[in-house]
Structure 1
Amino acid sequence: MPAALTSNDNRVTVAMTGASGAPYALRLIENLLAQGQQVLLMVSSAAKVVLATEENMQLPGNPKAMAEFLRHKFGVTDTGQLQVFGKEEWFSPVASGSAAPKRMVVCPCSTSTLSAIAVGASNSLIERAADVVLKERGQLILVPRESPLSTIHLQNMLTLSQAGAVIMPAAPGFYHQPQSIDDLIDFMVARILDHLQLEQTLVPRWGYGTTSVRGEE
């Protein structure tokens, strides 16, 4: 079970990897920053390709330049609120159990990253950061986007679930009657925020929205 979160722990590690679903990650980061959370971000090389394909966004290669680019995009003035780390910055806070945030979201999570975390490979900073959260009994949320899922994928998900991670496939619902792609994105981001124990007003909670559904009489 994840360790209890302290009330003053406002840090969240976010990793973007090479699965489809970049809009989920950007919306998540936007909401975390808006709530005053400190985001420690890692973006894999494959994730940069996905961002360019899905969002027409060309991120700078240098982590510091990338951080400046994203701070400008999200309107962040505090340089400490959004930090970006390269894949081999082994002296960054996320690489050590003594300094890493207790909460981490990999969104989107490629099946390659999923498998590496499942076996404890730690060949990149993203993999090491996830390994740290698991060993420290923190909260690790993985958002895979793949279809169909092979037996290998499912076995890796089972291994990680048994290790304490939350597997949250990018599978938006439709009961809130989405009117746009943004509504579908918000559905998933709302679920992630719920699990991070953060408030969200993106999607009405079941039973509290304006939509009513009647069964046949």
Structure 2
Amino acid sequence: MRLIIGVSGGSGVIYAIRLLEVLHTLKIDTHLIISRWAKECIKLETDKSIDYVTRLANKVYDNDNLASAPSSGSFKTDGMVIIPCSMKTLASIANGYDDNLITRAATVSIKEGRKLILVPRETPLTAIHLENMLKLARLGIIILPAMPGFYHKPKSIDELLNHIVGKILDQFGIEHEIFERWKGEEVAE
């Protein structure tokens, strides 16, 4: 399996790092595009280096190089995840504005009928944000907000991260056991 991972400049880059760590462990072929502001967020929000993050991927592309392989439909992939997906990136994709490699690769995923998952982390959301999400959801794009579940009684940030990462893996049919699945519970009346 080959996946493109786009990391846009929004708070929540730790989700992207955890996804890359898990995909690396599972030996999934990952092609990484990190925006300039995502690199700044990595420095601001985590203790990880850019070098650590890029070493988790099989290939890294410059977000400003629209001649890179992911800008073409002939570059075969199983899909793309943008995590976190900033509202600027989401708006660009929703309106066909491909001004960088992340948005161009997303457009390629849409036009080629490949799975595209956007993981917004913004809150609160404006009506414009919601309209852009609805527009994309109607095209079949998966909008998977960074809203972890709590039914498994998480005890750490890693468990919260794993819940979202596991939901992404589920969308691609990738087997995992990184979070506890709901088994149902009898509720007394």
The interval holding the TM-score normalised by the smaller chain is over 0.9
> SS at the partner of 1:109?
coil
> SS at the partner of 1:186?
helix
Structure 1 residues not aligned, in runs of 5+: 1-9, 60-65, 75-80
Aligned to 1:98: 74
Structure 1 position 53, deviation (Å): 1.2
The Cα offsets for residues 59-110 of structure 1, whole Å up to 9 and x where unpaired, read as 2xxxxxx5x8632xx4xxxxxx611100222232211001141310000000
Structure 1 position 196, deviation (Å): 1.3
Question: Is the contact made by 2:17 and 2:53 (CA closer than 8 Å) also made in structure 1?
Answer: no
Give the letter for the 1:177 counterpart: K
> SS at the partner of 1:15?
strand
Structure 1 position 213, deviation (Å): 4.4
Q: What is the distance in 1 between the residues matched to 2:165 and 2:14? A: 10
The Cα offsets for residues 128-182 of structure 1, whole Å up to 9 and x where unpaired, read as 0000000001000000011111000000001111112100000001000101111
TM-score by length of 2: 0.94
RMSD of aligned Cα (Å): 1.6
TM-score by length of 1: 0.82
Aligned to 2:121: 145
Q: What is the distance in 1 between the residues matched to 2:10 and 2:111? A: 25
Please say which structure displays the higher CA radius of gyration.
Answer: 1
Q: What is the distance in 2 between the residues matched to 1:186 and 1:175? A: 13
Structure 1 position 36, deviation (Å): 1.6
1:3-14 matches, within 5 Å, as 10-14=1-5
1:70 aligns with 2:50: no
Question: Is the contact made by 2:32 and 2:54 (CA closer than 8 Å) also made in structure 1?
Answer: no
1:23-34 matches, within 5 Å, as 23-34=14-25
Structure 2 residues not aligned, in runs of 5+: none
Give the paired residue count. Answer: 189
Aligned to 2:162: 186
